Chains A and B, each alone.
Chain A
Amino acid sequence: MVVIAGSRHQSVSAPVPPGLDPDRVPQVLRVVLVRHAGAAPPGAGVAADQPLTADGMAQADRLRWLNLFDLATGFYAGPEARMVGTLAPGATSRGREVVPMAALAETAAGGWLPDDRFAEVIGRYFAHPDIVPAPGWEAGSVAAHRFGAQLEALRASHPPHVNRDRAVPGVVVVSTGGRVAIAWLAFCLGWSGADAKRAWRRLRNPDIAVIDLPKGEAARLVIPFGTLET
């Protein structure tokens, strides 16, 4: 049972409410996709997994006040400290924990690159998602696939919320890095490489998008990155 500010929603697995045929309930998973809050920048000799900065922690704390998180029955993140830290205040304040998952990690990269070299590699990453853009990197399509497969696996644990006469999607909040987030969105929504790169360049820390995943149907982008005040 999920309590939403006075309205009680039952899991679809609970006894069927009168007047509602469970076979008609659309099986939709809503993903609140969060690009992580501010973390220490990468650099030569700096470990890739940097925690949130003080500003980043303040940003993460603000996220917890979003109504958008109220319907979530799960908070998931890549295993990196900045991903988990971004959702921790929002999850904890709702009596939940952030579950780190390797499949939700940022796209693997083979170590730090200087700016001009990084720009070249990231361009290839989005323009040619089926190839490995640089040694040690993960191809965009590979990253998008393992990320999407993990979200699909979450569907069973987060069925639609159903009460006596209505149903709303199951909701999960997922924090990850910008590269994999955009690669996955580009795959789901059919973006071109140029569109994906443009979307990645516009990302903020943190940033939020909302995507609905109807089972067996195309994904729907409900709220794009860059829309909500974060």
Chain B
Amino acid sequence: MAENCSPLQSQPDAKGEFFRLVAEQGHYGGRTFPTPTRQGLYVCTPGGTTLGALNTRDAGPLLEMLQTALQRWDHLAVHATSEAPGGYDRFRPDRYPHGGLVLRAIARDLPREVDTRVDDWRKIAWNLDYAWFTREEASSLVPDPARPGATSEASPELVRRLGRFHLRDFVRGEPAPWPADALREASLASVVTGVSADRTTVSLHGRIRLVAEFRWVRQGDGEAHASPCSFDATLSGEAEWDRLTGRFVRFDLAASGPRAGTQQYNNRPDDLGPAPMAVVFELAGDTPRDRTPPHTFLHAQYFGEPA
């Protein structure tokens, strides 16, 4: 199970309480400094007894923790609760875009002519996120009527969300969303390239250019930091729309170009660039894993609502 721990650390419902019970038995139990984060990997019983916990990117320590947890399970499972879970009165509404466009986003660095990155995980880092768009937003990418050569501009809301919340440099960590005024150029258009009985194929192309200075105070020592950040992304892709269901059945979009700068939590201080990066988007399934909310979806402006 993958979860965004930030809201769960204070979420006033059963889900938040369960997470906190598990996390307080783990590696960051009681942590308040420099942040109260409880991020990490946890193994627990259904009743909330923590069997193992760790925050790592390294497979070796993770494997060791999992093996320890399995051993503990063998000793503690007999005592674990067998009660069915109770009802869940969720604190936040379900914003999953049923019938809309749910994309898996994958970010990674691209090959460089001169590579000065440290030869460790940072050189092969990649990361996952999800992007949510409503059915109405998705349909803005489909020209109507669908005939070869017809074009359409993506809705401003789709492009805004794509840029501010999904073209972040999350290759190594967790950057904040781009501020609203970071969007210096934002376009995404489609052209019909094929039409069959039920489906319309479109090519996608556009450009999103983001520029902003990020500032933060390192809580560990109170030191102020600032970094000019940018991402100049060329968008290119192809998608297939099922006219009967009103949904995309294929969606492949790449956003690539030079990025620069660092933020507090994206582990780029040693790689300020400019250097090439790509974020690619593809259709997600609808398994529970693929319903993981976008990392920034709790941001007040993710869905375009006023701050």
Q: Hey, which bits of chain A sit against chain B, CB under 8 A? A: 4-7, 19-21, 24-26, 28, 30, 61-62, 65-68, 71, 165-169, 171, 210, 212, 222-223, 227-230
Contacts and interface: CB of A to CB of B under 8 A. Distances in A.
Nearest to B74: A65
A6 B51 contact: no
Interface in B22-69: 24-35, 45, 47-56, 58, 60-62, 64-65, 68-69
B85 interface: no
A212 B32 CA distance: 11
Given A7-B54, A67-B26, A227 B48 contact: yes
A229 B54 contact: no
Contact of B220 (A66, A165, A210): A165
Contacts of B81: 229
Interface hub of B29, B68, B76, B80 (most chain A Cβ within 10 A): B29
A21 B220 contact: yes
Contact of B76 (A19, A30, A65): A65
B221 A229 contact: no
B30 A19 contact: no
Q: 3 tightest CB-CB pairs across the interface, nearest first?
A: A6-B61, A169-B30, A21-B221
19 contacts: A5-B65, A5-B68, A7-B61, A24-B222, A26-B33, A28-B32, A66-B50, A67-B25, A67-B51, A67-B69, A68-B29, A71-B29, A166-B34, A168-B28, A168-B29, A171-B30, A210-B24, A210-B25, A229-B81
A124 to B, nearest CB: 34
Interface string B208-219: 000000000011
A29 to B, nearest CB: 9
Contact of A5 (B27, B30, B32): B27
Contacts of B112: none
B33 A65 contact: no
Given A65-B71, A227-B21, 12 more contacts: A5-B27, A5-B61, A19-B223, A24-B33, A67-B50, A68-B25, A166-B31, A168-B29, A169-B30, A222-B29, A229-B80, A229-B81
Interface residues of B, number: 45
A65 B222 contact: no
A168 B30 CA distance: 6
Given A6-B56, A21-B220, A62-B75, A223 B24 contact: yes
Nearest to B81: A229
A93 to B, nearest CB: 11
A7 B52 CA distance: 13
A90 B68 CA distance: 15
A65 B27 contact: no
B64 A228 contact: no
B72 interface: yes
Contact of B21 (A7, A20, A21, A223): A223
Contacts of A227: 21, 48
A39 to B, nearest CB: 19
Given A67-B51, A210-B24, A228-B49, A30 B80 contact: no
B79 interface: yes
A148 to B, nearest CB: 18
Contacts of B65: 5-6
B31 A168 contact: yes
A27 to B, nearest CB: 10
Interface string B1-34: 0000000000000000000010011111111111
Contacts of A66: 25, 49-50, 72, 76
Contacts of A169: 29-31
A129 B164 CA distance: 59
Nearest to B79: A229
Nearest to A9: B27
